[in-house]
Structure 1
């Protein structure tokens, strides 16, 4: 059996402004990020305790926060594309699944979102 590993980020509320809304439109209270990174298994199944053994995801989370705060976005798709491009330079990342949704959608309820999945070949083309 081949070992696989992921790093999972769930329910991160981004400080961002996405979309253009009219007077009677529902303006989202939150844009929420879920992201799963497929990663080299040796970065999760480690032989000793130490940051040099693992993928340091803190700089990537800081970059995502920076991108989210980087002005007004017309679409969720553009922010997700920028996040994917920020992941690409990390050779340890062999795949990703990014979901971004906003809430509420209408009358104080619902979520609406998008999802992008990239495999190793997709990421390699971005490098």
Structure 2
């Protein structure tokens, strides 16, 4: 059995403009991101306390916020794809699970989202394509 360690970002409300809505459509008031990053156990199970020994997720969050605010998106899938691309730029990230959902989808209730798990081979292809 291999060791798996993750960094989890859950329930991050992002400011973004996704979708096209008519006058009678329900316009979501929130887009929420969940992100799980698989990283080396060496960056989690550390012998000494200090930021230089762990994965610093703050720059990734800045990247995500920038991408979210980068303009209009027709679909959640496009923003998700760009966020996965941002994750691929960090060699410490070995795999990613991402979920992006909007709410409400009906009068005051429900959420609708998209989820993807991106393995290490796919991240490696994204890294070499960049």
Q: Normalising by structure 1, what TM-score?
A: 0.98
Task: Please list every run of 5 or more consecutive structure 1 residues that lacks an aligned counterpart in the other structure.
Answer: none
Paired with 1:29 and 1:56, the residues of 2 have a C-alpha distance of 30
| CA deviation vs aligned residue, 1:57-96 (integer Å, no higher than 9, x gap) | 0000000000001111110000000000000021111100
Structure 2 alignment gaps of length 5 or more? none
CA distance in 1: counterparts of 2:98 and 2:19, whole angstroms? 19
Shift of residue 2, structure 1, vs aligned partner: 2.8
Q: Distance in 2 between matches of 1:116 and 1:2?
A: 22
Q: Secondary structure at the match of 1:107?
A: coil
> What does the per-residue CA deviation read over 1:15-44, in whole Å, with 9 as the maximum and x for residues that have no partner?
001000001000001000000000111001
TM-score (norm 2): 0.95
> Counterpart of 2:98?
98
- Tell me, yes or no, if structure 1 residue 33 matches structure 2 residue 23: no
2:107 and 2:62 map into 1 onto residues whose CA distance is 33
Instruction: Give the SS at the match of 2:56.
Output: coil
Name the counterpart of 1:57. Answer: 57
Runs (4+) of structure 1 exceeding 6 A deviation are: none
**In 2, Cα distance between the equivalents of 1:77 and 1:2?**
31
Q: Number of matched residues?
A: 127
1:67 aligns with 2:72: no
* Equivalent position SS for 1:12: strand
What is the RMSD computed on CA atoms of the aligned residues? 0.7
